Structure 1
Amino acid sequence: MLQDTAGHPLVIGHRGASGYRPEHTRSAYDLAFVLGADAVEPDIVATRDGVLVLRHENEISGTTDVATRPEFAGLRTTREVDGRSLTGWFTEDFTWAELATLRATERLGALRQESASFDRRYPLLRLRDLFELIDAAADEHRRMLRMVAEFKHATHFAELGLPLDELFVAELEAAGWGRGDERLIIESFELDLLDRLRARGIRAPRVFLIEATGAPYDLLRAHGRGAARYDDFATEAGLLGLAGRVDGVSVGKGRLIGELRSTSAEDAARENMERRASGLLVGGGLVDAAHSAGLRVYTWTLRPENRFLARGFRRGSARAAFGDWLGEFTLLIDTGVDGIFVDHPDLGVEARTVAAAADVASARSRRPDVRRS
C-alpha cells in the first residue's frame, strides 16, 4: 500500500518540471517526482485518429520541431480555435504515428536556455504513457502520486468529432484507473466538459479554471455576448453557484496578489480597489469565500524568474534571473490555497516548508506561557 505523504498545499508540477526540461516530456515528469512534486499536470489534446496527447496547446509550432520537418510543411494552416485565428500546425491534423516522429522543444527558450539545451531530445507523450509513468514512479518513490488532468479546447475538439470526455474515459479505464480515484483531479476552463465527465461517472474532483479576463468559450458558444464572464465566478454569488457543480476552482495568481492587467504598482492597487468595490474577490478573501462554499482553491503558475514575478518581488533587471520567488510563493501559500502549480517543483516544496515553519513559529508565539508554581 502506497503512503499518501502529500503536504498542504499540494505541490503540482506544471507540465512536469517544466522549469528544467521541455514541458510534457518523460524527463520533465520524472524529474518533477524526483524533486518532490505531489502531482503533475498534463494538458490534454487529441490527434486526428482520436489519441489523447500531452501538449500545451493543439497548435504545436512552439513546443515541437514540426516547423523544421519538410514532410509536414503541407499541414501548416490557419484555423479558428476558441474564437481566435491561429496559424501553425495542429494536433487534430496529425495521426499519432506522425506526431510520434516529432521531438519536443522548450516553449520559453529565450528565457530558459538551460532547458532549451534539451531541445529535440525527447519524443511527445500520449496520455496513456503518463498513466504508466505515474504508476512506475509511485512504486519507485513509495508514495501516492497524482495527476491533475487539464482538458484543452473541449468545445473545439467536440465540434471536430473528437469528444475529449469520451476519449478520456476510455484511456482511464484502459490504464486501470477505473473511473477515477484519489490519484486523479480533473480541470477545465469549460464547465460543460466537467459536466460531461461527471455524467460519464468520473468520480475525480472537478476543478473549474478561472482565467484573468474574458469568458469560457463553451458559454460564449451557447450564449454569445450574454455569456457569464470569468469575473462573474470570482464573487461570493458566483462561487456559491459553482458549489455542487464542481469541487474546486483554480485561479491565476494575479487574482490573489494583484497585477492582473495593470502596468504599474499604482495601477495594481487601483485595480484591486475597483474589483473589491464591484464585488469581485481577491487575495485571501477569494480563498476564504471559496472554502465557505465548499470549494478547494488552486493557483497557477508560480515561477521564480523576474519575468513572471509580481513587481515587488523582482530583483534586478534581468528577465531570466530569479527574484524573490520565496517571498511571492509563501505569500500565495499564506492565502490558504489547497494547491500550487509550479514549474520548479523543488522550489514549491521549499516554499511550503518555509510557510509551514512560519505558521508553527507564529502559533508558538501566541501560546500562553503557563508555568507550574
Structure 2
Amino acid sequence: MKIRLVIALLLGSMGVMPAVAAERPLLIAHRGASADRPEHTLMAYKLAIEQGADVIEPDLVSTKDGHLVARHENEISSTTNVADHPEFATRRTTKLIDGQKMEGWFTEDFTLAELKTLRAKERLPQLRPANAAFDGQESIPTLDEILALVKTEEARLGRRVGLYPETKHPSYFRGIGLPLEEPLLAALAKAGYREKSDPVFIQSFEVGNLQAIRPRTRLRLIQLMAPEQGPPDKPGETYAAMATPAGLKAIARYADGIGVERAMVIPRGEGDKLAAPTSLVADAHTAGLQVHVWTFRPENYFLPTEFRSGADLRARGDEAGEIRVFLAAGIDGLFSDSVTEAVKAIGPRPKAAPHP
C-alpha cells in the first residue's frame, strides 16, 4: 500500500489525480496461468486458480457440431499439433475472419471428437520455452469441462471461482450457423450462473452481440476495446470514439464495464517508458462502468523499459511493478498471464466464508 501511495503522489505531481478503485481489483487469469503453462488448457486454468486468481478467462469458439471449446482463435495451427496429423492435411484452408485473411486449420471444420484427437501446445515457445515441456499433455478443453473444473476447485478450495468468457468472432460464427451466445448462456445457466452477483463476466470486441444478449441475462457484460481499431461488426466506428465520455455513456446502456488494452489507460512515452495516464478510468467511472485492463505479462518483451530486467527479452522483469502503476490510476481489474506477479501487486485474496 505504501508503494501504491507513492505512485499516486507521483501521478498527482504530474497533474493527474488517480481514481482509486473502491474494492480490491479483480484478478483475471488471462487464458489461465499462461506464463507457466500452455494457454487455454485445463492445467493452465487449474494452476491459475491455485495461485489465487479470482476468475479464469476462456476464449470460446465453436466446433463443426456446435460445441464450445477454448482457443484464443478458431485458427489452431499455433496452439495444437494439427499440422502433424496427415488425416487433416486437406482441411488446411484460407478464410476471411473479421476482414482479415487467415490461413490454417479452423475449429469450425472439425467435430469435437476430431478436435479431441489433437494435443495442445505452447503458442509462444520462443519466449516461453519452459512451457513447451508441457506440449502434448492435454487436449483442447470444452466449456463444459472448464465449468466442471471450476466446480471441483470450488469444492476443494472452499471458495468461489469466477469465469470471464470471451465470445470470439461472434458475427462470423453466427453467419456460418454456429452462434456462440445461446450455448454459452445455456451452459452458464445450467451451472447456476444467472445473476449479476455471480462471478461471471461475458466479454466481446463486438457490440451487437452484447446488445443482443443484454435483455437475456443479468450476468455482467464487458465491452472490449483496443487502440487504433474498431468493433468488427460496426464498420466505420472506432474504439477511440467509444472511449470518449459520450461513447462510454452509450456503452453503459448495455454493458457493465470495459476491457481495454493497457495503453488506453497509460500509454508508452519516450524510451518506451510509461507516460502519464489518460482520463479513461475517470471517464468510465463517471459513466458507471468498471475498467479492466489487458494484458500484463512478465517477460521483458512485453514490459515498459523501467520494469525490464536485463537485455534478454525472454527474461522476466517486474510485472508487479508495472501493475502497481495501473492500480494507482484506479483500475477495477486486470488480466495477467502471471497470477503470482499480479498477487504481488494487489495482495492475496481476502478470506471469505466457505463456498457451499
Change beyond 3 A, Cα 1:16–1:266: closer
Q: Does 1:295 align with 2:314?
A: no
| Aligned twin of 2:53 | 37
Q: What TM-score, normalized by structure 2, do the two folds share? A: 0.88
Shift of 1:327: 1.7
Give the residue type in structure 2 aligned to 1:339. Answer: G
Give the residue type in structure 2 aligned to 1:118. Answer: F
Where 2:233 maps in the other structure, the secondary structure is: helix
| Aligned twin of 1:232 | 241
Where 1:161 maps in the other structure, the secondary structure is: coil
| Aligned twin of 1:103 | 119
Give the residue type in structure 2 aligned to 1:265. Answer: E
Shift of 1:181: 5.1
| Aligned twin of 1:81 | 97
Q: Does 1:149 align with 2:165?
A: yes
Q: Is the 8 A contact 2:200 2:219 kept in 1?
A: yes
Instruction: State how 1:206-221 maps to structure 2 within 5 Å.
Output: 206-220=221-235
Structure 2 alignment gaps of length 5 or more: 1-22, 351-356
| Aligned twin of 1:189 | 205
Give the residue type in structure 1 aligned to 2:176. Answer: L
Q: Is the 8 A contact 2:226 2:264 kept in 1?
A: no
**What is the RMSD of the two structures over their aligned residues, measured on CA atoms?**
1.9
Q: Distance in 1 between matches of 2:305 and 2:250?
A: 34
The counterpart of 1:334, out of the listed 328, 335, 345, is 328
Paired-residue identity, %: 43
Q: Is the 8 A contact 2:64 2:107 kept in 1?
A: yes
| Aligned twin of 2:138 | 122
Q: Distance in 2 between matches of 1:106 and 1:181?
A: 34
Change beyond 3 A, Cα 1:291–1:180: closer
Give the residue type in structure 1 aligned to 2:207. Answer: L
Shift of 1:294: 0.3
Q: Does 1:343 align with 2:337?
A: yes
* Most deviating of 169-178 and 246-255: 169-178
Change beyond 3 A, Cα 1:94–1:121: same
Q: Distance in 1 between matches of 2:271 and 2:320?
A: 23
Shift of 1:284: 5.5
Change beyond 3 A, Cα 1:172–1:324: closer
* Greater relative CO, 1 or 2 (CA 8 Å, sep 6+): 2
Shift of 1:315: 2.5
Q: Is the 8 A contact 1:25 1:125 kept in 2?
A: yes
The counterpart of 2:185, out of the listed 169, 180, 185, is 169
* Cα distance per residue 1:225-245 (max 9 Å; x no partner): xx2101111212211221222
* Cα distance per residue 1:164-194 (max 9 Å; x no partner): 1122123223334347751211100011111
Q: What TM-score, normalized by structure 1, do the two folds share? A: 0.84
Give the residue type in structure 2 aligned to 1:80. Answer: L
Shift of 1:353: 2.3
Q: Distance in 2 between matches of 1:349 and 1:268?
A: 23
| Aligned twin of 2:319 | 325
Q: Is the 8 A contact 2:273 2:304 kept in 1?
A: no
Q: Is the 8 A contact 2:272 2:304 kept in 1?
A: no
Shift of 1:209: 0.3
Instruction: State how 1:16-95 maps to structure 2 within 5 Å.
Output: 16-95=32-111
Q: Distance in 2 between matches of 1:29 and 1:161?
A: 29
Q: Distance in 1 between matches of 2:90 and 2:224?
A: 35
Change beyond 3 A, Cα 1:328–1:268: closer
Shift of 1:266: 6.1
